[in-house]
Homo-oligomer: A and B are copies of this chain.
Amino acid sequence: MVQGELHGGSPETTITDIAEIQNATSTEVTFVGNSRYYKHLETTDAAAVILPAKYSGDFTPRIVVQNPQLAVKILIDHFRPLRPQSFEGVHETAVIHQTAKIGENVTIGPGAVIGLDSIIGDKTIIGSNVNIGQECSVGHDTHIYPGVTLYDRCTIGARVILHSGTVIGSDGYGFTQEDGIHKKIRQVGSVRIEDDVEIGSNCSIDRATLGETIIGEGSKLDNLVQIGHNVKIGKGCLIVAQVGIAGSTKLGDYVIVGGQAGFAGHLQIGDQVTVASKAGVTKDIDAGQTVSGFPAIPHNDDRRQIVYIRQLPEMVQRLKDLEGKLAQGDSSE
């Protein structure tokens, strides 16, 4: 099933589930994806362990695969089928505006609210107490978890997953000062979330001032991520938890951003850029670069900087020695 090579053990063994290596029993298969956990091989009771090709030990029975994560995905899909929902269909306490259009086989949970002229695609699941504004469009086979809010005129694609507490389409942070008072620039643009995007819990995705804020096809956002107004995220990007991207910044495709990193506004970030955790990006970045630090610089330069900083005490000592020698030299002249 996982296209692996079995070493030791019997191909006849019946496997009933997949489990973590510390907890797996003699009828369960487990895996080690990270060499930090090879130590658990000594004590596991698992029926077999999925290991990466680079594993050089002699543990058996093992199933060697190219990509243990993919094998785990396949086995979870196999052993843990989706369960039925507590509340199927459109719940009687959901409040759906009479002008909204609801597709076939849609689930709408208790207390969910759907506004004027909004459209919900077939087989989409909308959790309890979700708030969907007016003129929104939600694609088919999408899952919106409880407590999500969509403001008016947001577009959500097909097979999208939005986790609880996430807010899509709140006003961008736009003010102009007039006589010492911050006057609100109304945010009349919208948000477009393309197909196959997943957004974690408690994220804030602001609507555009004019035009659209866009999260590109297949991109995956972790929890507590901040996306400013008019930001464009390309396709297949990975944005880890607590990242903040300020207004109008554009990320290319397949950009990877580590946790707690931040971007200034109005930047252009090329395709396949990698930004390390906690980095602060203040300038445009060309495609393919890896940056870290604040202000973010090429990762190798940043690493070298850290090494140099750690040598500072030694440098000060060397400077002192030189000064001492020179003073001696002076006085001996």
Contact = CB atoms under 8 A, between A and B. Distances in A.
Interface in A242-299: 242, 244, 246, 254, 259-260, 262, 264, 266, 277-278, 280, 294-295
Interface in A202-254: 202-204, 206, 208-211, 218, 220, 222-224, 226, 228, 230, 236, 238, 240-242, 244, 246, 254
Contacts of A129: 111, 113, 129, 131, 147
A18 interface: yes
B70 A86 contact: no
Interface of chain A, helix or strand or loop or mixed? loop
Counting chain B CB atoms within 10 Å of each CB, which of A83, A113, A152, A163 scores highest? A113
Given A115-B86, A262-B278, A223 B204 contact: yes
A301 to B, nearest CB: 8
B280 A180 contact: no
16 contacts: A18-B210, A20-B208, A73-B176, A73-B184, A76-B210, A131-B146, A147-B147, A222-B226, A224-B226, A241-B246, A304-B313, A318-B319, A319-B319, A319-B322, A325-B326, A326-B326
Interface of A: 18-20, 22-23, 34, 36, 67, 69-70, 72-73, 76-77, 80, 83, 85-87, 91, 93, 95, 97, 109-111, 113, 115-116, 127-129, 131, 133-134, 145-147, 149, 151-152, 161, 163-167, 170-171, 173-176, 178, 180-186, 188, 196, 198, 200-204, 206, 208-211, 218, 220, 222-224, 226, 228, 230, 236, 238, 240-242, 244, 246, 254, 259-260, 262, 264, 266, 277-278, 280, 294-295, 304-306, 308-313, 315-316, 318-319, 322-323, 325-326, 329-330
Contacts of A18: 210
Contact of A72 (B151, B164, B196, B209): B209
A179 B61 CA distance: 29
B318 A308 contact: no
A315 B318 contact: no
B165 A34 contact: no
A305 B294 contact: no
B134 A145 contact: no
A112 to B, nearest CB: 9
A112 B264 CA distance: 37
A76 B316 CA distance: 54
Nearest to A301: B310
A315 B315 contact: yes
Contacts of A131: 127-129, 146-147, 164
Contacts of A185: 69, 72-73, 76
A147 to B, nearest CB: 5
A46 to B, nearest CB: 12
In order of increasing CB-CB distance, the 10 nearest A-B pairs are A86-B115, A131-B146, A204-B223, A308-B312, A69-B176, A95-B110, A149-B164, A170-B201, A167-B201, A86-B116
A165 B149 contact: yes
A131 B91 CA distance: 14
A120 to B, nearest CB: 14
